[in-house]
Amino acid sequence: MLRLIMAGLMLLALPFAVSAQEAPVQALLQDHAEIITKNSRKTIGPAIDAVATSALPQAQEVLQAWQAKEMWLRKSDGLFFKAEKLDGKTYQLTDFDTGLDAGTAQKADLKQIKPNSGIRALIGTALVQFQLSDPDPVRRSAALTSLERDRNAASLTPLRASIDSEADPDLKARKIRLERLLTMAFGESDTARVAAIQSMSGDLGVDVRATLNPIVASTRTAFAGTLPDGVNSAGALIPGSGGFTDADAYALLVDLKLAPAQVSAAEIREALAQNISGARSGGVPVAQLSDPARRLAAYDTLAEGGLVPPRVTPQQQAAAIAAHSYADVYSEPSAQVTDAAQQALKGISTRVAVSQAADLTLDALSLASIYFLAAIGLAITFGVMGVINMAHGEFIMMGAYTGYVVQQIIPNHTLSIIVAIPMAFAVTFAAGVALERLVIRWLYNRPLETLLATFGISIALQQLAKNIFGTQARPLTSPGWLDGAWVVNDVISISYIRIAIFVLALIFLGVFLFIMNRTRLGLETRAVTQNRRMAASMGINPDKVNMLTFGIGSGIAGIAGVAIGLFAKVTSELGSDYIVQSFMTVVVGGVGNIWGTLAGAAMIGFFQKGIEWLNPSNTLAAQTYMIVFIILFIQFRPRGIVALKGRAAGD
């Protein structure tokens, strides 16, 4: 009889067993139906983990439908489906196990599973393990980005499992890096974590430091008696030494609820005021409470009666301090891990300092090359002719606008820049020759009149540019191959435009040296620079040399305008932003000497960047300090770094 009953029960259970085998996803969801329908973030974890770790091929689709609020419960039989609205209140059901249509149902017979944001975040974390191995590289990259933003220990195992099968080299490098970072924070053993820390100890990435810093984070705390064994202490603290005062120690005890708080003077006055009875408080007449000693005595009387909290006496405070030990304790319990993290951070800090110095040097060289380009034309005209040309900045502006006009005609940015450079030289060369022939030639040896005349011309040129191009900034777009920056590491980087300007400055230096040392014009220019009268007696036409020199200086300023316009706003005031620096560069370097101009640009560039590094929040201070420095410098070396001999030196 018993055997018949058992056989009957087995026969009854057989359909359910077959059903579970044929529909494993549905069976899994039914096992956790109660907590799924309850929809609470506090209890949903086991259900999500069960689906994610089930190794079922449909697991990812179930989680995605759940996260997207597309999972529904059919009330008639309690089964879960993916549902899509057809029309009205009719929904098309899809079976999770087979992926086939499971008929339709009315909304009244369905209950939508609506996970809140917290549950969707948990599902998203569970989906990462599938997305890391998704055939679509875009999804794999998105999953990695999600892990990089929200790192957790649960992601370490699926991340490791996806590394070997990763075909994309860039994604594989990202996975390996993230695996090292997660191992540093959540590794399964201290040995693994230390190995990961040591492997990343030479990396200057911000993410590495962001991972190491929490490991070495410490909290100041106190212990009754001596420091317990096994505590990973960053250092013991002794009250009264090392900047840790007795007051600090007692305040720490109060914060940790290990000692009663001190009663403040305001609290004493408030307590006495609230306990006045018959013109007395604590047995002391109110008129006598202005005496500090009587006030404390009255408060102590109230405390003895249990009306107010008792005061902590100095003796009690000292006893409480002496009864405890104090230390900064790491939140990380493993001393082996914190020691490795400290060593890594120390090495990284040194490398960061070196990299910051290198980055500052590159920035200073970049700024110096810009100043050199802006000043080289002025150095030629000022040095050879002794003309203070206040309109030099407007030639820079004209060059930038020439580049803008060329780009409107030639849309190809690379070709337009190639055409704009000689075009800017031609335009500003012609403008410089016209200025020299019409104005400057009549004002030689009259520096004040020359300064005033060129200053007026600069204002006129600015207004002319406003009339033609308007007051809004015009774009001078750099070629696509100049976009971005050369990144050495997370600290050192410099834009390709700055590198191009630096190279352009070197090219101009070479061209200028060639012209001055290898051509007839250069020979005549040097002759006029050294001795104008002697050069004229040798058959050289000083007026022609002055005209060509002024034109060449103006043309170089136009090319500098094209270069500067690639990263600065092209407006009518563009030149005025560089005229002061150009004059300072020439004066500091040495009037009329190309090597002096180069040295002056380097000195000003490095000095300005140094000041900005010391005070990064105030760039105006850097300009002010730079001007003060130059004023002091020329007091001791009025002829500049490289003094020129001859007429320009004061013949």
Give one DSSP letter per residue of 599-637, joined into a string. HHHHHHHHHHHHHHHHSTT-HHHHHHHHHHHHHHHHHH-
Residue with the two structure tokens 């100043």: 371
- Is pLDDT of 301 > 60? yes
pLDDT value for 384: 61
One domain for residues 109 and 169: no
- Of residues 109 and 385, more confidently modeled: 109
One domain for residues 185 and 255: no
pLDDT value for 22: 66
- Is pLDDT of 616 > 70? no
Determine, yes or no, domain membership for 23: yes
417: left (phi over 0), alpha (psi -120 to 50) or beta: alpha
Where does the pLDDT of residue 194 fall: very low under 50, low under 70, confident under 90, or very high at 90 and above?
very high
Start-to-end CA distance of the chain, whole Å, equals 134
Q: DSSP H helical segments within 39-151, as ranges?
A: 45-52, 59-67, 117-131, 137-149
One domain for residues 279 and 380: no
Mean of pLDDT values over 387-408: 90
Determine, yes or no, domain membership for 126: no
User: What is the percent of the chain with per-residue pLDDT over 90, rounded to a whole number?
Assistant: 18
Determine, yes or no, domain membership for 522: yes
Mean of pLDDT values over 289-298: 85
Residue ending a domain, choose from 68, 92, 120: 120
pLDDT value for 13: 37
Mean of pLDDT values over 471-496: 83
- Is pLDDT of 224 > 70? yes
Residue ending a domain, choose from 335, 368, 401: 335
pLDDT value for 14: 34
Contact 121, 102 (CB under 8 A): no
Residue type at position 181? L
Determine, yes or no, domain membership for 115: yes
Residue type at position 187? G
pLDDT value for 2: 37
CA dist list (Å): 106 to 33, 71, 74, 100, 619 = 21, 15, 10, 18, 68
Contact 336, 215 (CB under 8 A): no
This prediction's pTM: 0.66
Tell me which residue range forms the domain holding 156: 132-215
Where does the pLDDT of residue 398 fall: very low under 50, low under 70, confident under 90, or very high at 90 and above?
very high
One domain for residues 103 and 178: no
**CA-to-CA distance for 533 and 33, rounded, in angstroms?**
105
- Is pLDDT of 649 > 70? no
One domain for residues 358 and 492: yes
Neighbour-count burial of 141, counting CB atoms closer than 10 A to its CB (0-12 exposed, 13-18 middle, 19+ buried): middle
One domain for residues 260 and 374: no
One domain for residues 233 and 290: yes
250-257 — which CB contacts under 8 Å span 24+ positions?
A: 250/317, 250/320, 250/321, 252/220, 252/221, 252/222, 252/326, 253/222, 253/320, 253/321, 253/324, 256/221, 256/222
pLDDT value for 527: 81
pLDDT value for 471: 85
What is the total count of domains within the chain? 4
Please name which of 322, 409, 401, 374 lies closest in space to residue 578, comparing C-alpha atoms. Answer: 374
Q: What is the mean pLDDT of the chain?
A: 84
pLDDT value for 133: 79
Locate 63 and state its tokens.
């989680």
Residue ending a domain, choose from 271, 304, 335: 335
Dihedral sign for Cα atoms in the order 159, 163, 165, 171? positive
pLDDT value for 19: 46
One domain for residues 548 and 567: yes
CA dist list (Å): 594 to 392, 514, 562, 636 = 17, 12, 21, 21
- Is pLDDT of 17 > 60? no
- Is pLDDT of 7 > 60? no
One domain for residues 324 and 448: no
One domain for residues 232 and 311: yes
Determine, yes or no, domain membership for 344: no
What is residue 222's DSSP assignment? Answer: E
Other C-beta atoms closer than 10 Å to the C-beta of 125 total 17
pLDDT tens for 161-187 read 888 888 889 999 999 999 999 999 988
- Among 211-215, 243-247, 400-404, 542-546, the minimum mean pLDDT is found in 542-546
Q: Provide the b/e sequence for 590-625 (b: ≥16 CB within 10 Å).
A: bbbbbebbbbbbbbbbbbbbebbeeeeeeeeebeeb
pLDDT tens for 234-290 read 888 899 888 899 989 999 998 988 888 888 888 888 888 888 888 888 888 888 888
Mean of pLDDT values over 380-393: 77
Contact 548, 415 (CB under 8 A): no
One domain for residues 19 and 150: no
pLDDT value for 618: 62
DSSP 443-467: STT-HHHHHHHHHHHHHHHHHHHHH
- Among 316-320, 452-456, 603-607, 630-634, the minimum mean pLDDT is found in 630-634
Determine, yes or no, domain membership for 318: yes
Locate 279 and state its tokens.
């013109």
Determine, yes or no, domain membership for 342: no
pLDDT value for 324: 92
Mean of pLDDT values over 413-424: 91
pLDDT value for 403: 92
Locate 286 and state its tokens.
């109110």
Extract the runs of DSSP E, i.e. beta strands, from 244-320. 276-277, 280-281, 284-285
Residue type at position 134? D
- Is pLDDT of 87 > 60? yes
pLDDT value for 38: 86
- Of residues 556 and 630, more confidently modeled: 556
pLDDT value for 12: 38
- Is pLDDT of 497 > 70? yes
Residue with the two structure tokens 């971005």: 484
One domain for residues 381 and 326: no
Determine, yes or no, domain membership for 440: yes
- Of residues 232 and 154, more confidently modeled: 232
CATH code, domain carrying 454: 1.10.3470
- Is pLDDT of 113 > 60? yes
What is residue 218's DSSP assignment? Answer: E
- Among 91-100, 215-224, 228-237, 375-384, the minimum mean pLDDT is found in 375-384
- Among 331-335, 500-504, 550-554, 588-592, the minimum mean pLDDT is found in 588-592
Locate 530 and state its tokens.
């050294």
Query: Residue 185: phi, psi to the nearest 5?
Result: -90, -35
Angle at 467 between CA 464 and CA 469, to 5 degrees: 100
